[in-house]
Amino acid sequence: MNHLLSTEHLDRSTLEELLDEAEGFAEVLTRPIPKVPALRGKTVATMFFEPSTRTRLSFEKAAKALSADTVSFSPGTSAISKGESLKDTALTIRAMGVDLIVVRHTATGAPWRLAEWLDIPIVNGGDGAHQHPTQALLDCLTIRQRFGSLDGLKIAIVGDIKHSRVARSDIFAMTTLGAEVILVGPPTLLPLDPEAWPVSVSHDLDSVIEEVDVVYLLRVQTERGGASVFPSLAEYATRFGMTPERFSRLKPEAVVMHPGPMNRGVEISYDVADDERALILEQVTNGVAARMAVLFRLLGGEHDA
């Protein structure tokens, strides 16, 4: 593994190794000094062309917990607005002596282009609606900690799958690890060709709620008001939201997850979000451990051939 760009082609053993390592790093994070010197002298750059405080912080925390230095680049303070190409920006950052770049971009494929242009590992921190592989790792880690394994679990991913990089990454990682994934949402929010994905599809959350082990709620893009893809936020909340009533119908051991930031009252009700079976904060904690595993895998020790 020379880069982490997508979960689509990660095999089961690689995924499991990464999760095993993430477990180890999760323990490091509980130590009195939650830090190891493994990547001392390395520099990790975060290039975020799309605002995201939490993902950037998580990567920076992960790098620092491995004793790497971090530098961050964001277009607001850069030459991008002056017409510099992504390639020139990337070559400039590389020339400063950076050892790995975490990139987030509004455009699909930006991390692939960086991987093509540069000779250092690239981590996809989210590209367009395409992939967000470290989110999938932390999600799978969180589920594995709860259930021991993903094998045979039924996971419903609910909401705007069509425009979600989280869903695209989770679908591949979860099914590779043995889970069964059901996509739930109105047709305007589902992929055009669900038959091409290793999933089943439902337009009715109530019909699957009692049989699933995990309900993974995606964020509704409230800033768009949903206007062009569903009638209203209220109608969305009624049909696809995790209401207390639906929550009460879940299997007793079933859990609720969300990649954040949440819209309480839309995809998840106020009370459910704070329940012990809503693993949202565990996901955030595991995000640092999962990203440590990725950074260490790419920068610690010789690269795989």
Beta bridge partners of 161: none
Q: CA triplet 247, 250, 252: central angle to 5 degrees? A: 110
Which is nearer to another protein, 113 or 203 (by Cβ)?
113
Annotated catalytic residue 168? no
Cα separation, 274 vs 265, in Å, equals: 12
Q: Which of 42, 104, 165, 246 is catalytic?
A: 104
Residues that bind another protein (CB under 8 A): 17, 20-21, 24-25, 27-28, 31-33, 35-39, 66, 83-88, 105-110, 112-113, 117, 127-131, 162-165, 168, 191-193, 196, 296-297, 300-302, 304
Which is nearer to another protein, 193 or 223 (by Cβ)?
193
Which is nearer to another protein, 133 or 191 (by Cβ)?
191
> Whose CA is closest to 292, among 47, 49, 100?
100
Residue 134 Cβ vs another protein, minimum distance, rounded to whole Å: 16
Task: Tell me the two tokens of residue 254.
Answer: 């079933």
> CA neighbours within 13 Å on the CB side: how many for 52?
24
Cα separation, 66 vs 105, in Å, equals: 25
Amino acid letter for position 62: A
Residue 250 Cβ vs another protein, minimum distance, rounded to whole Å: 29
Cα separation, 89 vs 92, in Å, equals: 5
Annotated catalytic residue 106? no
Q: Which of 55, 89, 134, 142 is catalytic?
A: 55
> Whose CA is closest to 289, among 19, 49, 101?
19
Residues 100 and 45 sit within 8 Å (Cβ to Cβ): yes
Residue 66 Cβ vs another protein, minimum distance, rounded to whole Å: 7
Annotated catalytic residue 188? no
Residue 39 Cβ vs another protein, minimum distance, rounded to whole Å: 8
Amino acid letter for position 242: M
Which is nearer to another protein, 118 or 250 (by Cβ)?
118
Annotated catalytic residue 224? no
Residues 298 and 98 sit within 8 Å (Cβ to Cβ): no
Cα separation, 15 vs 174, in Å, equals: 10
Q: Which of 54, 87, 249, 303 is catalytic?
A: 54
Task: Tell me the two tokens of residue 176.
Answer: 């590779």
Residue 140 Cβ vs another protein, minimum distance, rounded to whole Å: 18
Task: Tell me the two tokens of residue 51.
Answer: 């605002």
Cα separation, 134 vs 170, in Å, equals: 10
Which is nearer to another protein, 46 or 164 (by Cβ)?
164
Annotated catalytic residue 285? no
Q: Which of 56, 132, 246, 297 is catalytic?
A: 132
Which is nearer to another protein, 66 or 266 (by Cβ)?
66
Residue 177 Cβ vs another protein, minimum distance, rounded to whole Å: 19
Q: Which residue numbers are catalytic?
A: 54-55, 82, 104, 132
